[in-house]
Structure 1
Amino acid sequence: MEDKKALIYDCAKELFSAKGFKDTNISEITKKAGMAVGTFYNYYPSKEKLFMDIFLEENAKLKQACFQSLDLDQNPLAVVGQMLKLNVEGTKANPILREWYNRSVFEKLEQVYREENGVDTVDFLYDSFLELITLWQKQGKMRKDIDSKMIMMIFAAIINVDTHKEEIGLEYFPELLLLMTELIMKSLMDCSEY
């Protein structure tokens, strides 16, 4: 059974990458996988759910690759800025991840994302960043008056602003995230009064 699910996943990923979310349908996915449409529903409740599973895996791979290529000897602002820059470049280069900014499909995707609590898929980065923040605090590079876990929640809030891009205006993303993060990081690095 897992082989069929993996085949559906792989075929869908190929089609979504080539044609996008909107122009790919379930019958094309199952035809490519060599199975009946009804079989699809044994493994996925909807095209949106399948796409979100693929999206979240691609997003996690990108975040992990970005983190692994960071120069952690830089100051916190440079490290976080580098992470965001690498993430933006990786998102633009990946046709699956680019769909997050496709005005005609993101509302459906965001709804599934919220329902699935997709931020959990990048939890593997939480421990790494938490250790880094704790180190920066010990080194005097980041404020110590704010608990390191609270700082992680600030970062989570930055990430979740992305799910409100329509309300804010798509034309401002991802530049808004870069500027907002820079301002927050400068505040977190201002250790002079703390």
Structure 2
Amino acid sequence: MEDKKSLIYDCAKELFSDKGFKDTNVSDITKKAGMAVGTFYNYYSSKEKLFMEIFLAENAKLKQECMQSLDLSQSPLTVVRQMMMLNMEGMTANPILKEWYNKSVFGKIEQLFREENGTQSVDFLYDSFLEIVKQWQAEGKMRSDIDSKMIMMVFTAIINVETHKEEIGPEYFPQLLDHMTELIMKGLTDCS
């Protein structure tokens, strides 16, 4: 049974990468996997649920790669800038993760997934990065009067600004993101 589920997952991942979420349907996936459409529904309740499972796995892999590339001996501002740059490069290079920027598609998928799995199930935060924030707070490099989880929410807000690039004006990116990051980090690292 797990072999069939893995096969569906792998075929879907390949099709989502090649054709995108919108242009891939369940029958494409099952045809590529060499099985009946009904078999798909034995393992996944919807194309959206399967896509989110693949997206979350790819996102976790990217975040792990980013974390391994960070030079934690640098200042918090430099580390956060480096993390943002690595994350943005990874998101745009991976066709599945790139769907994040297609809000007309991704917003609906995420909403369905949250409704089915709860609000905590789609966690785009960097769990290991939370530990770094706590370490910076303990070392006096970052304000400790703000809860570390709230600081992570601030970082999430910075990341989410990217999805509004067109509304703000693409000519301002990535400079806007860098200025926002610098200003926020100055406020978070002012421990006086």
- Please classify the TM superposition score into its range, dividing by the shorter chain length: 0.7 to 0.9
Counterpart of 2:95? 95
Unaligned ranges ≥5, structure 1: none
Is the Cα–Cα contact under 8 Å of residues 100 and 109 in structure 1 kept in the other structure? no
1:27-70 per-residue CA deviation (whole Å, 9 max, x = no partner) reads: 11001111100111111111111111111110110011101110
* Equivalent in the alignment of 2:167: 169
Q: Distance in 2 between matches of 1:67 and 1:144?
A: 22
**Which residue does 1:14 correspond to in 2?**
14
**Structure-2 residue corresponding to 1:44:** 44
Q: 1:104 to 1:153 in 2, by over 3 A?
A: closer
Q: How much is the aligned-residue C-alpha RMSD, in angstroms?
A: 2.8
Match of 1:86 in 2: 86
Detail structure 1 runs of 4+ shifted over 4 Å in the superposition. 118-123, 156-159, 170-179
TM-score, normalising length: structure 1: 0.82
Q: Residue in 2 aligned with 1:23?
A: 23
Partner of 1:56: 56
* Pairing 1:104-183 to 2, within 5 Å after superposition: 104-115=104-115, 116=117, 117=119, 121=123, 125-126=126-127, 128-158=128-158, 161=160, 165=163, 169=167, 175=174, 178-183=178-183
Match of 2:69 in 1: 69
Taking the aligned partners of 1:171 and 1:4, their CA distance within structure 2 comes to 45
Could you say what secondary structure the match of 1:22 adopts? Answer: coil
| Counterpart secondary structure, 1:95 | coil
Taking the aligned partners of 1:89 and 1:37, their CA distance within structure 2 comes to 36
**C-alpha distance 43-64 of structure 1, shift in aligned 2 (>3 A):** same
State the SS of the aligned residue for 1:54: helix
Contact 2:114 2:122 in 1 (8 A): no
Structure 1 residue 186 displacement after superposition:
1.5
Q: Which segments of 5 or more consecutive residues in structure 2 lack a partner in the other structure?
A: none
Q: Which amino acid aligns with 1:20?
A: G
Partner amino acid, structure 1, of 2:167 = G
Decide whether aligned partners of structure 1 residues 98 and 59 sit closer, same or farther in structure 2, where only a CA change above 3 A counts: same
What is the CA-CA distance between 1:141 and the residue it aligns to?
1.4
Matches of 1:26 and 1:174, distance apart in 2: 36
How much identity, in percent, do the aligned residues show? 68
Task: Give the C-alpha shift of residue 158 in structure 1.
Answer: 4.5
Change beyond 3 A, Cα 1:136–1:179:
same
Q: CA separation in 2, counterparts of 1:188 and 1:56?
A: 29
